[in-house]
Structure 1
Amino acid sequence: SDVKDTSLRVPSSYNGTVIDVRVFTRDGIDKDLRAKDIERQEVERIRKNIEAEFRIIETATYERLAEVLTGKAVIAGPMLKKGDKLTKAYLSDIGSDDWFKLRMEKEALNDQLVLADKRLKERRIELDEKFEESKVKLQSGDDLAPGVLKIVKVYLAIKRRIQPGDKMAGRHGNKGVISVIKPVEDMPFDVNGEPIDIVLNPLGVPKRMNVGQILESHLGWAAEGLGLKIGAMLDTQREVIEIRQFLEKVYNQSGRIEDLDSLSDAEVLSLAGNLRGGVPMATGVFDGAD
């Protein structure tokens, strides 16, 4: 036979997780069951993305219309009489199609309803056409090199132990290269004897940190410290009333007041157990000084 398998093989010593499988078949060749299954899953994924995109547009449109229409008088509409005023409760109860059956006293509002309906329908048509184009592209054959009937690509995610020369990045896009890895006993430590996890070059990440990132670092350290104190109180079996008082001090010194008095002793202990790893914190978006 002129057909042969030229597949690459993963060495037996490799361990990893298969994160994706792609099958490419030459145009005119019947697809096998695996290729058809992958194609079906991909079509379904595209359909879900298209529907999610339309729902976002639809929701934003109705929210904007609700702000404009609430409290305004109507001429006619489902279950309404002339002169009735629209309420948020009424708008949330009627179907989406019924919104565009409303006739308002102000002609400008009617124009907005007509325009919103038109744009939603146009967007629906655009997204449907986009889906059909993607579907046709998926279901058509692939342009492969001469003599190649099928290509199967298996993507593996392999965990490797970090080593000098590797690049790391934080979730803010700060990146750096590992220069040296030391045993924990050789790492610097804080006043409590806790070894430092990582030492950053001051010319790298720290000098580029903005106010929000610095605040996040301090809050994270404070949150962990509070969690350690709560964990120590649980480990030494302190009285529930002491733990409750400490939690009251943590939560209700400033900011939003939390109702801890309504919690039973068992619920207080459960909350304290959840806070061992650190106290969750939230802060508003920092958008600079006015």
Structure 2
Amino acid sequence: MATKPLRASSTVGDTMAMLGRLDDAMLAYRLDLVISERLAEADPDNAKLRHSLYVSRQKIGELRMRQGDLDEALTAFREGLAVAENLAEADPHNADWQRSLSDSFNSIGEALMAQGKLGDALEYFHKGLAVSDRLAEAHPNHPDAQAGLATSHANIGLVLMLRGEAASARQSLREARLVVVRLKDQGTDVTSILELYEAALSKLEAVAMSLEEKDAGAAGDALQQARDLFAKIKELSPGDDAFLARLDAAIVNLRKTIAAEPDVADPTPSAD
């Protein structure tokens, strides 16, 4: 009986979030968290209930990110990480628990990146990559495992570009794109979305290359093309809205970095 309101409150929250009613979504997610906490306390050895607790905290963190409350988002993500770490340590062969651990590392990294704490963000992204890499190697034909690996590489590429490390960023983005290519070649029902991801990552690689070549104009053009492609992905895959919104925010910050970078010369001739 108790699991029904747990699912209902979470589903209501998801619906409200999709409709843009973020305050209502937060109320539903907080109710879901209360239920999850009580169920987990009543049956502490039940891993599925503890994972539900992780999911509840993760969703609150995601919503706080959308609301721009990065400190509260980090708090929720760190609380979720504590649960994910316990689950992954208790059952290291459970792919779902390991995937949640990687997601936690990436979520914290994304919040830190949004705060401009790029060194800390990179540390968490590398932790997420280590887990994703193990999962992808153990499950080479599992789409979720491969998608997680691509996300980890892409996150690292973005933060490296924000740090001005264009060459390393291009390598990470290339790794992300190659994972997407392999995933696409396996044949899935989301091939069209994967093709857009591949194209968008290719454009981000072009941004990094242009930064290496000190060509701000080309970097800006490629960045706009990448944003347009990610916007198409958002239309086709509303379930990825939270991740893509954060990715778009990172791209906006990258545009500011390009505009402010004194060492990147705009090739457009001066009117003088």
State the TM-score bracket (shorter-chain normalisation).
under 0.3
- The structure showing larger relative contact order (alpha-carbon pairs under 8 Å, at least 6 residues apart) is 1
TM-score, normalised to structure 1's length?
0.24
Whichever of the two has the greater Rg, that structure is: 1
TM-score, normalised to structure 2's length?
0.25
